[in-house]
Structure 1
Amino acid sequence: MKIRNLFIIIIAVATFTHAQSKRELNNDGVDLYKAKKYADAEVKFKKGLEKDPEMFQGHFNLGDSYYKQDRYDEAIQSYKNSLQFTDDKSNQSKVYHNIGNSLLKQQKYQESIGAYKNALKQNPDDLETKYNLSYALNMMKQNQQQNKNDKNNNKDQNKDQQKDQQQQPNEDKKDQNKDKQQQQQQQQQQQKNQISKEEAQRILEAMKNNETDTQKKLRKIKGKPVATDKDW
């Protein structure tokens, strides 16, 4: 669905000299608005309102020029100002419709729905307003569902984080126990490989005795004469 904008640029009509001036300013603003020169149109509408602050058309059209410049809060205020200067239900319906559009652009769905309902109170047969009301209701529903999903996702993430935090100390403890066991095994292996001082002393003495016997044997062999065989 796409929002349907209903902008009624109201041309002022008057018959006397002073009103002619404000009418010309308003209508010049309308021409600039149609040419998409919204900032210039804004200036003309404001000048027209300086001459007649109670001109409904000036406030309404000024709101339209603000809207086209994405200045939605200012647009809403101008539309509300225009309501003070008309008793015509058709005009009031158009004002509420455009207020609804400005609120919808700001994603203020609940408030825009209220504005569209006010517009339909003044003109129950306005199809454009009915369409936009349906659009706003649908967008509000989607937004609520999205917020609900985001909330659930945040809960799941928090649970996962808590679970990770709980598991981390246990894993660290397991690693520490594993390291401790490895150290103990290494120490035991080293102890197996090590010999006591007494054993070392006995081995040294045995080696020394063996070496003495060996030296004696070597000396005996070395001192024995070697016969030389000759052929005569």
Structure 2
Amino acid sequence: MRQVLIIICALIPLSILAQEIDPALQREARKYVREGNELYNQQKFSDAEVAYKKALVNDPAYEIANYNLGNALSQQNRDEEAIAQYEITAKLTEDKMTKSEAYHNIGNTHFDAKKYQPAIDAYKNSLRNNPKDDETRYNLALAQKMLEDQQQNQDNKDNKDNKDNKDDKNQDKKDQNDDKNDDQQDKKDDQQKGDDEKDDKNDQQKDPKDQKDYKGNDQNKKPQPGKLSPQQIQQLLEAMNNEEKKTQEKMNARKEKGKKIKQEKDW
């Protein structure tokens, strides 16, 4: 319900607000404003808000009620609603001091939210209505300095981001070149491996004569047939003589065994 009252106040046309208000309603509105001020000073901001809204129900054009409602909302960190109430006050009032204070508070609310450009605009509007307000002038200079620092930090961040993006692109390009070099090296290694395998195969297919020559250098080679030593020839001849002698003896033995016995006749 509180929110609805704020919206109603914000949407009331200025022509209606300018209409004459019943004096009885104005007195009732002033009563609620005094009640709201007491609650505000006790830091009961939500209760003060209710009292100021009751005052505005009786007198929507009551600039003090609108201004103080903005303060109560600001104390509750409801900044957007507070700004709306200050803007209503600035539009309703003909008093330049009140208008200046409303814009000053709008500037402070934007400043706290680090919205420095809107804060600067509000402080300038405040000074147009009260050029002698040193506090507003100081806040304006501070907001301009903060905006400059904010923009500088943003530029530095953008430059850093651009540098990081550039470094990332350069790294990607370097990685691509490294991959390309690795592929070329792999191909070169594969080619070298193929050449080595080809050389090994050629070595295996050399002239058999070359291989025989290599074997001929073996220190553990066996004697070749037809190249017997004199001692081996002598042993072979003796073995042949012994074999022949044995053969002759076997033949003689067979002859003795096969001889018939002559028998005498009985007559």
Q: Which TM-score bucket, shorter chain as reference?
A: 0.7 to 0.9
Match of 2:59 in 1: 52
Q: Which moved more, 1:19-28 or 1:51-60?
A: 19-28
1:127–1:206: structure 2 CA closer, same or farther, 3 Å change rule? Answer: closer
Deviations 1:163-195 (Å, cap 9, x if unpaired)?
122222221111112222223333333344443
Preserved contact between residue 40 and residue 72 of structure 2 (Cα < 8 Å): yes
Match of 1:196 in 2: 204
Match of 1:213 in 2: 224
Match of 2:162 in 1: 155
Larger Rg: 2
Deviation, structure 1 residue 37:
2.3
The count of corresponding residues between Structure 1 and Structure 2 is 205
Preserved contact between residue 66 and residue 85 of structure 2 (Cα < 8 Å): yes
Match of 1:118 in 2: 125
Give distance in 2, aligned partners of 1:41 and 1:213. 129
Aligned positions of 1:4-153 closer than 5 A: 18-153=25-160
- 1:70 aligns to what SS in structure 2? coil
TM-score using structure 1 length = 0.75
Deviations 1:210-231 (Å, cap 9, x if unpaired)?
66839x98xx69x889xxxxxx
Give distance in 2, aligned partners of 1:44 and 1:180. 86
Deviation, structure 1 residue 150:
1.6
Q: Given residue 122 of structure 1, which amino acid in structure 2 is its aligned partner?
A: N
TM-score using structure 2 length = 0.66
- 2:60 aligns to what SS in structure 1? coil
RMSD: 3.0
Q: Given residue 150 of structure 2, which amino acid in structure 1 is its aligned partner?
A: N
Q: Given residue 117 of structure 1, which amino acid in structure 2 is its aligned partner?
A: K
Deviation, structure 1 residue 132:
0.8
Deviation, structure 1 residue 136:
0.7
Q: Does residue 1:186 correspond to 2:193, yes or no?
A: yes
Structure 2 gap ranges (5+): 1-22, 216-220, 239-267
Give distance in 1, aligned partners of 2:32 and 2:204. 114
Aligned positions of 1:165-176 closer than 5 A: 165-176=172-183
Q: Given residue 77 of structure 1, which amino acid in structure 2 is its aligned partner?
A: A
Q: Given residue 98 of structure 1, which amino acid in structure 2 is its aligned partner?
A: N
Deviation, structure 1 residue 46:
0.8
Give distance in 1, aligned partners of 2:136 and 2:208. 105
Q: Percent identity?
A: 34
